[in-house]
């Protein structure tokens, strides 16, 4: 228990030092007086007794120092002293200090920003959800095909009932409704969920309640809703009596039963939900019809919450056994169907999965930027430490040990890193929403931002510590390695030979150049890839095509009334002078929504017994192909005669012809979609349906009049601008029904641009970080060459005195700097050849070893190296031989 006795003394020594010192002096004086009294009792005179007591006691100051050492708080006092001294040294060189802090702030800030994005988008994407560490996505699989798809409601009910190793299976589906604002409609994003959604995810309810058991059952039987805190605040002005009031969604009044807690935005990365409704109301938000009893209709994006102690592999094994049973019991809809548990950060159903590769690349890039920044600051500290050789020599001469010097220099480095970490966190806080500024707008409010929680702060602190060791340890060791005898001699650095310390500075510059070259190559590859994407035709002509829609759900249209409106509106559109052609589609190409998918059967095609072929399809009106410029390779287009009273027909794309008819002409042949046999009447040229970079896939079109839907997109080919068309289209809509609202009119090219968001983000970030790295590398090279020239003044003067021309000195300095640049480019080129293949998922029709990108990076890096070396070389040519030799 000795430590418990010493603890109060250590605390007093640390925080009340004066009192502790007085107590120590009093205690020692008491010992001296006691010893003096003993000597006086032995017959000594008081003066002699005092001297004898002091002599027997030993040096008082030495005893005091021993007592202080026993308190074990000297290291704190020394650290405080080092901080004060380091602060004075940093203030003495404000230019150096500001440059070092700026470099490190950029490096640490970039890393903290990317970590905040990874935390807020991938690892903990759902603020307000209590069980994110045990949540996983339950995705469907189809044997023989790649990727994942959704789940049907009947399948969900089976998993929910039979799964025993999970606490809950939770159903969800992104949806939306239009809220009229003036003469147009604004999309509001929400979600259809299972009744256990709020309880199973641990989501707090600010006011009212969540959904009760059974409210997700039945057909349109529970028109209740939970609204977001933001919607309650903005639209209902924080009404305290909101519970029990109604809000119309798709022309049906929903009773508000709860308000979600502030800070909860839903469970879909990118779109902040404004409302939640039970899954029983699916038909009111899905124009394709009622699906709760259709096992083939896969539309849900469910989650599972694992039980404590249960691994993902164990839960997936149990769920796969349930999938196998469903396959046996329902072969028509579940043949070849399985499941896969996927972490939230790899979810294929929202922006998390889409942004995963980009954020992974960003993490690698910012680590490179941090290494470059650390190398830069390391060089600055080396230069500064060489300027402090006299100070270090004096301190060692009076007894300071090497460890003490290293600790002092590391403390100064820690101060730089600490200040830079604060600045870096401020930069990261400012950059939290940067991704949202980079992503092309999607017509609905989005929320994609980082999270600066304790995890990010801990990682940032770790980065601060690591960076301190990276850029501070080597300079500190170099500065403390002083030969006292040789330190009196002048050190002639030399540009060509140089001292032994030069290799450290040169190595740091080579690292900077290598990493910068690697980033420049990556930026060049992405620039070319982005250019190829933009120049690659999607299979249809986007120029001169605008896109809008009229959500007839809002006005409560049933199907016959909606069909009548669509016919009238289309007739009016085609009669307008500026409209060349127009058409409807249930889903426009490159939409963020998913196409319908259905199992198919084809005459004379036998699928493998364990597989169920499925294809995506779209419902379109006559004129769709001519409006988008998709050629029909054979057969005919749909006509108005292709309605519910005529023979069901379909148009297939080239991939379907190759896959199911082995390249033969399918016109007149049949295929079965779900339960309906259709006759093939046309073959359309292959197009892209979701994004430019997607692989070729089978796709078919069916007539909208045979599968009518209330909600459709309107595609118009016109030479007019969207701004010009908006009032014209609104006027035509109001002429039919004054109560309807028109969505914003957007160019089709913008719809295509939206789907390039991952590449666009990667290009923007890599270009920005590459430029930052290039600047830091140029600064580092300039610093090394400038210092080499300043340390070689005598050598330069001697060379000029012996007849060297200024051009010779210029060549000498430039060759040294460009040699470092060339070595860095060589190493960076080898690293780029080995690592750029990791960018393959972001590249489109560009080889990871594209020579043009390497050549461009070489030219840019060489130009930066020449610019960095030119000023020090020019200064070398201005050396005065007489002054240099005198110095």
| CB atoms near residue 123 (< 10 Å) | 16
Mean pLDDT for the stretch of residues 409-423: 84
Residue 198 has which token pair?
Answer: 């709020």
Q: What is the pLDDT of residue 47?
A: 81
Which of 379 and 670 is assigned the larger pLDDT?
Answer: 670
Count Cβ atoms within 10 A of the Cβ of residue 169 and give its class: 0-12 exposed, 13-18 middle, 19 or more buried. Answer: buried
| Strand pairing class (676-684; 649-653) | parallel
Shortest CA distance to 411 belongs to which of 863, 87, 102? 87
Alpha carbon distance 635, 684 (integer Å): 9
Q: What is the pLDDT of residue 275?
A: 95
- Contact in structure between 396 and 405 (CB atoms under 8 Å): yes
Mean pLDDT for the stretch of residues 453-463: 85
CB neighbour list of residue 232: distance below 8 Å, 6 or more residues apart: 207, 238, 239, 242, 259
Shortest CA distance to 155 belongs to which of 280, 329, 343? 329
Residue 661 has pLDDT above 70, yes or no: yes
Q: What is the pLDDT of residue 657?
A: 94
Q: Which one-letter DSSP state was computed for residue 656?
A: H
First-to-last C-alpha distance (Å) of the chain: 65
Alpha carbon distance 772, 761 (integer Å): 16
Which of 12 and 394 is assigned the larger pLDDT?
Answer: 394
Name residue 528's beta-bridge partners. none
Residue 10 has pLDDT above 60, yes or no: no
Dihedral pair phi/psi, residue 731, rounded to 5° = -65, -40
Shortest CA distance to 352 belongs to which of 454, 267, 245? 267
Alpha carbon distance 705, 566 (integer Å): 10
CB neighbour list of residue 16: distance below 8 Å, 6 or more residues apart: none
Alpha carbon distance 493, 794 (integer Å): 9
Residue 724 has which token pair?
Answer: 């010009």
Mapping DSSP to helix (H, G, I), strand (E, B) and coil, where does residue 310 land? coil
Least confident of 161-170, 465-474, 768-777: 465-474
Mean pLDDT over the full length of the chain: 83
**pLDDT single digits (tens) 338-365:** 999 999 988 888 777 777 878 888 888 8
Q: What is the pLDDT of residue 655?
A: 94
Residue 686 has which token pair?
Answer: 């292959």
| Strand pairing class (632-635; 596-602) | unpaired
Alpha carbon distance 650, 671 (integer Å): 9
Residue 484 has pLDDT above 60, yes or no: no
Length of the chain as a residue count: 887
Alpha carbon distance 109, 426 (integer Å): 7
Mapping DSSP to helix (H, G, I), strand (E, B) and coil, where does residue 60 land? helix
Q: What is the pLDDT of residue 397?
A: 67
Q: What is the pLDDT of residue 650?
A: 96
Q: What is the pLDDT of residue 492?
A: 44
**pLDDT single digits (tens) 248-291:** 887 788 999 999 999 999 998 888 999 999 999 998 888 777 89
Mean pLDDT for the stretch of residues 768-782: 81
| CB atoms near residue 604 (< 10 Å) | 10
Shortest CA distance to 378 belongs to which of 801, 783, 59? 783
The packing angle between helices 351-386 and 502-535, to 10°, is 150
Shortest CA distance to 446 belongs to which of 266, 286, 180, 589? 266
Residue 58 has which token pair?
Answer: 């030993």
Which of 368-377, 407-416, 419-428, 505-514: highest mean pLDDT?
419-428
Name residue 795's beta-bridge partners. none
Count Cβ atoms within 10 A of the Cβ of residue 462 and give its class: 0-12 exposed, 13-18 middle, 19 or more buried. Answer: exposed
Q: What is the pLDDT of residue 490?
A: 44
Secondary structure (DSSP) of 733-777: HHHH-TT--BPPPEEHHHHHHHTTHHHHHHHHHHHHHHHHHHHHH
- Contact in structure between 348 and 147 (CB atoms under 8 Å): yes
Mean pLDDT for the stretch of residues 650-670: 93
Q: Which one-letter DSSP state was computed for residue 212?
A: P
Q: Which one-letter DSSP state was computed for residue 381?
A: H
Which of 23-37, 43-57, 532-546, 823-837: highest mean pLDDT?
823-837
Alpha carbon distance 826, 517 (integer Å): 9
Alpha carbon distance 278, 258 (integer Å): 13
**pLDDT single digits (tens) 631-648:** 999 999 999 999 999 999
**pLDDT single digits (tens) 220-244:** 989 999 999 999 998 889 999 999 9
Mapping DSSP to helix (H, G, I), strand (E, B) and coil, where does residue 585 land? strand
Alpha carbon distance 534, 516 (integer Å): 27
Which of 67 and 56 is assigned the larger pLDDT?
Answer: 56
pLDDT band at residue 328 using 50, 70 and 90 as cut-offs? very high
Residue 115 has which token pair?
Answer: 């970590």
Q: What is the pLDDT of residue 70?
A: 61
Alpha carbon distance 778, 553 (integer Å): 60
The angle at the Cα of 534, spanning 530 to 539, to the nearest 5 degrees, equals 130
Shortest CA distance to 674 belongs to which of 294, 252, 359, 109? 294
CB neighbour list of residue 624: distance below 8 Å, 6 or more residues apart: 583, 584, 585, 630, 637, 638, 701, 715
| Strand pairing class (614-620; 699-703) | parallel
Residue 315 has pLDDT above 80, yes or no: yes
**pLDDT single digits (tens) 837-874:** 877 767 878 888 899 999 999 999 899 888 888 888 88
Residue 113 has which token pair?
Answer: 């920003």
Alpha carbon distance 370, 385 (integer Å): 22
Helix (H) or strand (E) run with residue 193 in it: strand 184-193
Alpha carbon distance 10, 77 (integer Å): 12
Alpha carbon distance 297, 152 (integer Å): 5
Least confident of 345-349, 383-387, 724-728, 810-814: 383-387
Residue 380 has which token pair?
Answer: 């600055």
pLDDT band at residue 18 using 50, 70 and 90 as cut-offs? low
| Cα diameter, the chain | 136
Alpha-carbon distance values, 776 to 97, 108, 500, 508, 647 (Å): 15, 14, 24, 12, 69
- Contact in structure between 391 and 88 (CB atoms under 8 Å): no
The verdict on pTM exceeding 0.85 is no
Shortest CA distance to 620 belongs to which of 570, 586, 656? 586
- Contact in structure between 548 and 746 (CB atoms under 8 Å): yes
Count Cβ atoms within 10 A of the Cβ of residue 129 and give its class: 0-12 exposed, 13-18 middle, 19 or more buried. Answer: buried
Residue 488 has pLDDT above 50, yes or no: no
Q: What is the pLDDT of residue 842?
A: 73
- Contact in structure between 821 and 781 (CB atoms under 8 Å): yes
């Amino acid at each position: 228990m000795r430590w418990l006795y010493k603890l109060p003394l250590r605390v007093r020594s640390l925080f009340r030092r004066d009192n502790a010192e007085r107590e120590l002096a009093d205690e020692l004086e008491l010992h001296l007086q006691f010893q003096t009294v003993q000597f006086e009792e032995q017959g000594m005179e008081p003066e002699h007794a005092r001297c004898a007591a002091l002599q027997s006691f030993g040096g008082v100051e030495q005893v005091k120092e021993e007592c202080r050492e026993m308190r074990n708080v000297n290291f704190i006092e020394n650290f405080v002293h080092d901080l004060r001294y380091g602060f004075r040294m940093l203030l003495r060189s404000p230019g150096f200090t500001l440059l070092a802090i700026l470099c490190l702030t950029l490096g640490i800030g970039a890393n903290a920003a990317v970590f905040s994005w990874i935390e807020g988008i991938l690892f903990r994407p759902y603020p307000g959800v209590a069980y994110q560490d045990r949540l996983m996505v339950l995705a469907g699989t189809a044997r023989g095909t790649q990727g994942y798809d959704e789940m049907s409601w009947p399948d969900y009910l089976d998993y929910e009932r039979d799964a025993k190793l999970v606490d809950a299976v939770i159903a969800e589906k992104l949806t939306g409704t239009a809220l009229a604002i003036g003469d147009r409609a604004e999309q509001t994003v929400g979600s259809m969920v299972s009744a256990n959604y709020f309880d199973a995810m641990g989501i707090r309810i600010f006011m009212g309640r969540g959904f009760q058991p059974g409210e997700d059952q039945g057909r349109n039987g529970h028109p209740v809703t939970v609204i977001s805190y933001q919607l309650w605040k903005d639209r209902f002005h924080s009404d305290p009596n909101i519970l029990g009031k109604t809000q119309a969604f798709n022309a049906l009044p929903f009773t508000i039963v709860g308000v979600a807690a502030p800070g909860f935005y839903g469970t879909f990365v990118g779109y902040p939900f404004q409302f939640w409704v039970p899954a029983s109301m699916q038909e009111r938000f899905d124009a394709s019809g009622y699906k709760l009893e259709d096992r083939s209709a896969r539309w849900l994006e469910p989650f599972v919450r694992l039980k404590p102690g249960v691994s993902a592999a164990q839960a997936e094994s149990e769920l796969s056994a349930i999938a196998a049973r469903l396959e046996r019991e329902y072969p028509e809809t579940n043949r070849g169907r399985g499941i896969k548990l996927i972490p939230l950060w790899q979810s294929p159903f929202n922006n998390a999965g889409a942004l995963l590769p980009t954020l992974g690349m960003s993490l690698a890039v910012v680590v490179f930027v941090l290494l470059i920044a650390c190398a830069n600051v390391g060089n600055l500290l080396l230069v500064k430490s060489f300027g402090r050789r006299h100070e270090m020599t004096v301190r060692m001469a009076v007894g300071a040990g090497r460890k003490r010097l290293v600790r002092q220099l590391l403390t100064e480095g820690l101060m730089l890193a600490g200040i830079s970490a604060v600045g870096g966190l401020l930069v990261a806080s400012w950059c939290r929403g940067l991704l949202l500024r980079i992503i092309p707008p999607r017509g609905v409010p989005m929320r994609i931002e980082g999270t600066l929680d304790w995890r990010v702060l801990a990682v940032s602190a770790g980065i601060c510590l690591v960076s301190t060791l990276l850029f501070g340890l080597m300079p500190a060791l170099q500065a403390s390695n002083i030969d006292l005898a040789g330190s009196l001699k002048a050190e002639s650095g030399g540009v060509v030979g140089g001292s032994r310390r030069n290799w450290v500075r040169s190595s740091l510059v080579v690292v900077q150049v290598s990493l910068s070259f690697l980033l420049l190559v990556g930026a060049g590859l992405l620039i070319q890839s982005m250019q190829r994407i933009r120049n690659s035709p999607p299979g249809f002509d986007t120029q001169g095509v605008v896109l809008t829609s009229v959500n007839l759900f809002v006005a409560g249209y049933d199907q016959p009334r909606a069909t009548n409106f669509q016919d009238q509106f289309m007739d009016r559109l085609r009669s307008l002078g500026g409209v060349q052609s127009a058409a409807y589609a249930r889903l426009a190409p490159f939409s963020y929504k998913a196409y319908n998918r259905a199992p198919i059967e084809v005459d004379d095609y036998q699928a493998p017994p364990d597989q169920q072929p499925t294809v995506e399809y779209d419902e379109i009106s006559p004129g769709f192909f001519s409006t988008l410029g998709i050629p029909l390779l054979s057969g005919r287009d749909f006509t108005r005669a292709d309605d519910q009273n005529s023979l069901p027909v379909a148009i297939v794309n080239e991939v379907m012809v190759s896959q199911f008819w082995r390249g033969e002409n399918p016109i007149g042949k049949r295929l079965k979609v779900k339960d309906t046999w259709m006759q093939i009447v046309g073959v359309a040229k292959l197009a892209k349906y979701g994004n430019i970079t997607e692989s070729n896939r089978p796709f078919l079109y069916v007539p909208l009049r045979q599968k009518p839907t209330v909600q459709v997109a309107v595609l118009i080919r016109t030479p007019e601008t969207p701004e010009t068309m908006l009032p014209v289209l609104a006027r035509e809509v109001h002429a039919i029904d004054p109560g309807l609202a028109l969505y914003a009119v957007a160019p089709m090219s913008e719809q295509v641009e939206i789907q390039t968001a991952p590449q666009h983000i990667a290009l923007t970030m890599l270009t920005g970080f590459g430029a930052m790295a290039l600047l830091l590398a140029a600064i580092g090279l300039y610093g090394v060459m400038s210092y080499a020239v300043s340390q070689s003044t005598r050598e330069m003067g001697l060379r000029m005195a012996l007849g060297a021309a200024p051009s010779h000195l210029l060549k000498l300095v430039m060759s040294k700097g460009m040699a470092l640049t060339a070595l860095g480019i060589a190493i960076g080129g080898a690293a780029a050849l080995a690592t750029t293949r990791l960018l393959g998922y972001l590249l489109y029709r560009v080889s990871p070893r594209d020579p043009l990108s390497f050549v461009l990076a070489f030219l840019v890096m060489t130009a930066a190296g020449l610019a960095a070396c030119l000023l020090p070389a020019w200064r070398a040519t201005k050396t005065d031989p007489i002054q240099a030799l005198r110095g």
